Structure 1
C-alpha cells in the first residue's frame, strides 16, 4: 500500500485515510469556489470594459464639430439692411441669402434646382444666427467680403468624421455623391475644419443635431437635484433620529420600519405614478417642472436616506450616549451634540449614493411630463425643463445618425457625474469616519 494508506484486516480504509480523502475533496471544492468567484469578477469587469468602450467609441466624436469656411459678402441690398445698428433690421435681415450666394460662387456648376438645394444643405440652417451676431458686434462688416467659418450640417459633419472609415468610395450616409464631391473639394482647399463642440455644452435641445446641446437638460437635472437634496436629507435624518432615539418599540413603529424597507425596493416608476396622481392631479401643479421632479425624487430617495442614517446612528457606541447623559446633557443635547456629529459621515455617504441614484432616474420623470421638448435654459425650479437622463432617452429615439454620437456623449457626461458623486461618497466616508 502507498504512504498514509492503512487498511484494516477486512480490507477497508482506516479512519485516517477517510479523513485525508475528505480534506482533499474539500480543498478541491474550495479551489473551484475561488475560481468561480474570480471568473465572475473577471466577467463583470469584461462587461464593464466592453460597455465603456462602446460608449466612448461612439460618443467621443460628438465633442468635435465640422465647420466650413466661406467668403461672405454682407450685401445690404441682399439682406435688406441699410442701418446695421438698428436691432429690428438685424432681426429681420435675410442672412441665408448671403450663405447661398457664397456657396454658388464656390460651386457655380450647381445649376439645377435640386443641385442647389443639395448645395445649400452643406451648411447648417443655424449658420444665419452666426452672421447676425457677427454683424451685430461689428457693424463695419456691411458692404465687405470676409471669410467666415460656418457650422456644417449634421450629415456633412458625419461624412467628414467617417469618410476615412468608408470602404472604397461608398459611404453609408444621407448625402449624395455630388455633396461628397463638394465637401472633398472644400477639404482639399483647407476650407473644412474640426473644432471643439462648445455648442454641445452651451446650448439647449434642438431638432437639428449640430445645434443640439445638453445645457438645458443639465441645468434641469441640477435644479431637480437641489430640490431633492433640500427636502430629502433633513426629512430623512429627522425620521432616522426619531426612529432610533425617541420612538417606542411597539407594533406601530415595527409597521413603519417594515414599510420603509419595502419602499426602498419599490420600482421608481411607481413613485412617478404617485407624483402624477398627487402633485399634478390633486394639487394641479404644472408638468415638466424641476419642482415636481424634485418632489417625486424626494419620495423615491427618502427610504434609502432613512435606512442609511439609521445604520449610521446605530454604529455610534452606547457609551457615548451614556457619557453625555451622565454629564447632565438632555436627550436632545445628547443627540445633536454627540450622536449626530459622529453619525454624520455615514449619513452623508448614504445620502450621496441616494442622490446619485436619483440623478440617473428616468422613469419617474417621464411620468410627470419632463419628457417635453424644451429648448430654453431653465432659470428656476418653476420653469419648464427636462433632465439629462430624459434627454438621452429622447435622443436615442431620434432617426438621425448624428444623434447616436450625441446620445453616447451625453451618457459619458452623466456617467462622469455619477462616478464623481460616488467617489465623493467614498472620500467622505474614509475622511470622516471613526473606528470604535
Structure 2
C-alpha cells in the first residue's frame, strides 16, 4: 500500500481524529437532551407546585360549615295579622328567629357582649335563608323545625382547622366562649360540613361564607359571547381577504405588520382604547359585558387573524388549482373549499384567543368591571364582573375566608381554561387533514 493510500485510510472514518469528533458530537447531543429533559422537569415541578399550592388553599371553598338549630317560626314575628301577605312575610324580622333560637339553645348566656358574640356564630346570610324557606313554604309559620343554618366565616375557618384552638385567645379571632358554644353544638351532632352549593349559585357578597362565583361566571359568559360574535367573523374574513384576494403591495404589507404588532401590544392598552372609544365616545353602559366583550374583541382580533391566516396558508395550492380548473370562481374556491378545510386550525386559534380573553383582567379594570356586583346579570347591558376580576377583588379582601374563596375561584377558572384548550386539541384532531 502506497503512502498516499495509507494517509487516506488514516484520515477516514476509522481514524482517531474522526472517532474523537464523533464522540464529541455524541457527547454534545447527550448534554443537549439532558438540558431539554431538565427544563421539562423544572417546568413540571413549578406547575405542580403552583397547582398543589392553589388546591391546598382552595379545595375547602367547596365545603361549608352549618349548624343545625331548632327554629320556631313565630307567628307574632312573621305574620302578626295572619294575612299570609307575601310582602309582609318578606319584610319580617328573620334575624329575630335566629336570635331567639340561639337564646333557647344557650340559656346561660346573659350579658349583652356575650349575646352579641353568640349571635355572631351564625352568618347574616341565615336571614335570607330563612326568608326563602318561609316564602317557599308558608305552612312553616307557627311551627318549630330544625334548620341547617350557615355558620359565620370565623366559625367556618375554625371548623376547617385554619384557626387553632391551642394558641392564646388574644391571637385568634375565635374566642374561648365561641369555642365552648361550638363544642356544645358539636357534641349534639349539630355541626355539619356539607357541599357548598352556594359557591356556584350565588353572586358576590361582603360576607365570605355566602359569596359565590355565579355572577362572575355569567358575566364571563356574556363577555366571551360578545367577544366571539365580534372577533370571529371579522378575524376570519380579514384572514381570507389577506390570503386569497388582497394584492401584494405596500398597503397590505403595512396592514400585516400592524396586525403582528397589535398581537404584542399590552392588554391594558386595549383597555384604554375601550375606555376612550366605547365609554367616552359611544357612551355605552359602564361595567357591562357589552363593553367588556367589545374591548376583548379588539384584543383577540390579531390572534384570530394570525391563526386563521396560518391555517388558510397551510391548504395546498393544488386544492385551489383543482377548484379553479373545474370552473369555480375565486370566491367559490375560498368559501367552498379553502375555508372548510382550514376551519379546524381557525377554530383552534379562536379558542386559544378566547382562552386568553377569559383570563384577562387589566382591560376590564379600565372599563369599570372591577365594581362590587351582587346581582346576577340578566343581559349584556347589566352591570357585571368576570371571574379574573372576581379573583382580584377577593384577593384584596382582609378576611381569611376570602383566601380559600380566591383559590377556589382560581381552580374554577383554570378548569374552564383547561376545558377550552382541550376542546381546541380535540377539534384539531377530529377535523385535521393530512396532505
Q: Distance in 1 between matches of 2:361 and 2:221?
A: 14
Q: What residue in structure 2 maps to residue 3 of structure 1?
A: none
> Normalising by structure 1, what TM-score?
0.94
Superposed CA deviations along residues 219-256 of structure 1, whole A, max 9, x for unmatched, are 00000000011110100000000000111101111111
Q: Distance in 2 between matches of 1:265 and 1:416?
A: 26
Q: What residue in structure 1 maps to residue 243 of structure 2?
A: 244
Superposed CA deviations along residues 19-44 of structure 1, whole A, max 9, x for unmatched, are 32222222222211111111110000
Q: Does 1:302 align with 2:301?
A: yes
1:265-304 to 2 correspondences below 5 Å: 265-304=264-303
Superposed CA deviations along residues 5-61 of structure 1, whole A, max 9, x for unmatched, are xxx9xxxxx993233222222222221111111111000000111111111111111
Work out whether residues 269 and 367 of structure 1, in 8 Å CA contact, stay in contact via their aligned partners in 2.
Answer: yes
Query: 1:84 and 1:192, CA in 2 relative to 1: closer, same or farther beyond 3 A?
Result: farther
Q: Distance in 1 between matches of 2:89 and 2:165?
A: 46
Q: Distance in 1 between matches of 2:196 and 2:130?
A: 18
1:94-133 to 2 correspondences below 5 Å: 94-133=93-132
Unaligned runs of 5+ in 2: 1-6, 8-12
Q: What residue in structure 1 maps to residue 10 of structure 2?
A: none
* Helix, strand or coil at the partner of 2:398: coil
* Helix, strand or coil at the partner of 2:55: helix
Work out whether residues 83 and 89 of structure 1, in 8 Å CA contact, stay in contact via their aligned partners in 2.
Answer: no
Q: Which moved more, 1:152-161 or 1:72-81?
A: 72-81
Instruction: After TM superposition, give the deviation of residue 284 of structure 1 in Å.
Output: 1.6
1:24-423 to 2 correspondences below 5 Å: 24-79=23-78, 81-83=80-82, 85-162=84-161, 166=164, 168=166, 173-423=172-422
Work out whether residues 219 and 377 of structure 1, in 8 Å CA contact, stay in contact via their aligned partners in 2.
Answer: yes
Q: Which moved more, 1:136-145 or 1:307-316?
A: 136-145
Instruction: After TM superposition, give the deviation of residue 131 of structure 1 in Å.
Output: 1.8
* Helix, strand or coil at the partner of 1:162: coil
Q: Distance in 2 between matches of 1:310 and 1:137?
A: 56
* Helix, strand or coil at the partner of 1:193: strand
Instruction: After TM superposition, give the deviation of residue 78 of structure 1 in Å.
Output: 3.8
Work out whether residues 84 and 90 of structure 1, in 8 Å CA contact, stay in contact via their aligned partners in 2.
Answer: no
* Helix, strand or coil at the partner of 2:258: helix
Unaligned runs of 5+ in 1: 1-7, 9-13
Q: Distance in 2 between matches of 1:318 and 1:362?
A: 42
1:6-17 to 2 correspondences below 5 Å: 16-17=15-16
Q: Distance in 1 between matches of 2:139 and 2:333?
A: 72
Work out whether residues 202 and 211 of structure 2, in 8 Å CA contact, stay in contact via their aligned partners in 1.
Answer: yes
Work out whether residues 85 and 136 of structure 1, in 8 Å CA contact, stay in contact via their aligned partners in 2.
Answer: no
Superposed CA deviations along residues 295-317 of structure 1, whole A, max 9, x for unmatched, are 11111000011011111111111
Instruction: After TM superposition, give the deviation of residue 390 of structure 1 in Å.
Output: 0.3
Q: Distance in 2 between matches of 1:21 and 1:156?
A: 72
Instruction: After TM superposition, give the deviation of residue 137 of structure 1 in Å.
Output: 2.6
Instruction: After TM superposition, give the deviation of residue 91 of structure 1 in Å.
Output: 1.8
Q: Distance in 1 between matches of 2:48 and 2:339?
A: 40
Q: Distance in 2 between matches of 1:279 and 1:101?
A: 53
Q: Distance in 2 between matches of 1:258 and 1:45?
A: 35
Superposed CA deviations along residues 54-92 of structure 1, whole A, max 9, x for unmatched, are 111111111011111111112222446332621121122
Q: Does 1:21 align with 2:20?
A: yes
Superposed CA deviations along residues 319-375 of structure 1, whole A, max 9, x for unmatched, are 111111111111111111111111111111111110111111111011100000111
Q: Distance in 1 between matches of 2:257 and 2:43?
A: 33
Q: What residue in structure 2 maps to residue 4 of structure 1?
A: none
Work out whether residues 78 and 88 of structure 2, in 8 Å CA contact, stay in contact via their aligned partners in 1.
Answer: no
CA RMSD for the aligned pairs?
A: 1.7
Work out whether residues 280 and 368 of structure 1, in 8 Å CA contact, stay in contact via their aligned partners in 2.
Answer: yes
Instruction: After TM superposition, give the deviation of residue 173 of structure 1 in Å.
Output: 4.2
* Helix, strand or coil at the partner of 2:123: coil
* Helix, strand or coil at the partner of 2:15: helix
Q: Distance in 2 between matches of 1:56 and 1:145?
A: 40
Q: Distance in 2 between matches of 1:428 and 1:170?
A: 58
Instruction: After TM superposition, give the deviation of residue 167 of structure 1 in Å.
Output: 7.2
Q: Distance in 1 between matches of 2:137 and 2:307?
A: 59
Q: Distance in 2 between matches of 1:340 and 1:371?
A: 39
Q: Distance in 1 between matches of 2:205 and 2:258?
A: 43
Query: 1:78 and 1:342, CA in 2 relative to 1: closer, same or farther beyond 3 A?
Result: closer
Q: Distance in 1 between matches of 2:257 and 2:76?
A: 76
Query: 1:156 and 1:347, CA in 2 relative to 1: closer, same or farther beyond 3 A?
Result: same
Work out whether residues 243 and 313 of structure 2, in 8 Å CA contact, stay in contact via their aligned partners in 1.
Answer: yes
Query: 1:196 and 1:170, CA in 2 relative to 1: closer, same or farther beyond 3 A?
Result: farther
